[in-house]
Amino acid sequence: MATRDNIARSGLAIGAGAAWLLLAFITLRWPDLGDWGRGPELAIAASALGAALIAGALLGTIWEPGAARLRRATPWLLALGLFLSVWQATTAKLGILPQPFFPPPHAILEVFIEDWAKLGQSVAASVKLELLGFLVGAAGGFVTGVLLGWSRAFGYWAHPIMRLIGPLPAIAWLPIAFYAFPSSWSASIFLIGLTTGFPVTVLTWSGVASVNSSYYDVARTLGASRLFLVFKVAIPAALPHVFVGLFMGLGASFAVLVTAEMMGVKAGLGFYLQWAQGWAAYANMYAALLVMSLMCTSFVTLLFKIRDRLLSYKKADVQW
């Protein structure tokens, strides 16, 4: 049975390699209907990957850890190779999909090779804006949530304000923020922070308020001070809730980031997307979307790593 499974997996890997070789053949040997560059580079990369997949399938017994990783990724590599082959044929070769709305894969590769400097500057601007806004919102939401869960007097004044401001979409504050702040960049930080802060506040508040009272009783019996109860009992017990709020705030902040860059900030991936759309440069637009996806998933991955490090005592139900 194990032998049959290995043969089937090897056959799947060979099929994935063949799909990438097919992409290389279509790209290099089938004439384009339009004028796009970087076709030879795409064909070389696809050929190298296809040959590597076939070699890995045939020589998988030599390095078992690498073969195991290859087997896990093979179905996706097969699907991606076939998808790119169909995409290449229906755009650059047959013209079935309308241009310029659906550029071929090597047109997007051309953007990465020739416009990498502008894309890199856009990524740096977006990362800076997102990090600052998220950190400001997370810090403010965390402090506010702890105070809401700990102090009834603070909750008396802050809770009605939260109910009034919190549920409103941050984008609704866009005209006021651009008027009240000295620059569109600082206004964008405020909007991202506002979007991040509300879920962090609510979940932190919920976490602190739901701490078992017996924990406090035991700590007081041992002579714990008020600050010890907050920093050593309430906050550590509420951390799982805090990270749920951070994940919610991070996801919502991405949408505000792109909107803010499109509306006012003259830098970043959102601005690059708007520029590409204005010039009907759809290859640039798709390249920016791919880079934005990588950036966003990197932020989420980093937050998962921090969560796993701080909550190492708690088995994670969800992995990224």
pLDDT tens-digit map of 274-298: 899 888 899 999 999 999 999 999 9
Question: What is the per-residue pLDDT for 225?
Answer: 87
- pLDDT score of 2 more than 50: no
Position 166 confidence tier, pLDDT thresholds 50, 70, 90: confident
| pLDDT digits 0-9 by tens, 87-137 | 999 999 998 998 889 999 999 999 999 999 999 999 999 999 999 999 999
Q: Side chain identity at 256, as an amino acid letter?
A: V
Q: Can you give the pTM of this predicted structure?
A: 0.85
Residue 247: pLDDT above 60? yes
Q: What is the mean pLDDT of residues 51-55?
A: 88
What does the pLDDT read at residue 174? 80
* Average pLDDT over every residue of 237-266: 88
pLDDT band at 6 (very low <50, low <70, confident <90, very high): low
How far apart CA 290 and CA 109 sit, in angstroms, is 11
Output the pLDDT for position 65.
64
Q: Look at residue 319 and tell me whether its pLDDT is greater than 80.
A: no
For the chain, give the percent of residues with pLDDT over 70: 92
Predicted confidence band of residue 168 (pLDDT cuts 50, 70, 90): confident
Q: What share of the chain is helix, strand, coil (3-state, %, to 5)?
A: 80, 0, 20
pLDDT of the residue at 139 = 96
Which of 98-102, 197-201, 264-268 bottoms out in mean pLDDT, i.e. has the lowest?
264-268
Q: Which fold has domain 116-310?
A: MetI-like fold (1.10.3720)
- What is the residue extent of each domain of the chain? 2-102, 116-310
Least reliable range by pLDDT among 85-89, 104-108, 171-175, 235-239: 171-175
Residue 33: its pLDDT value, please?
86
> What is the model's pLDDT at position 192?
92
Q: What is the pLDDT of residue 80?
A: 95
Residue 1 has pLDDT above 50, yes or no: no
For the chain, what is the mean pLDDT?
87
Which of the four pLDDT bands, split at 50, 70 and 90, describes residue 242? very high
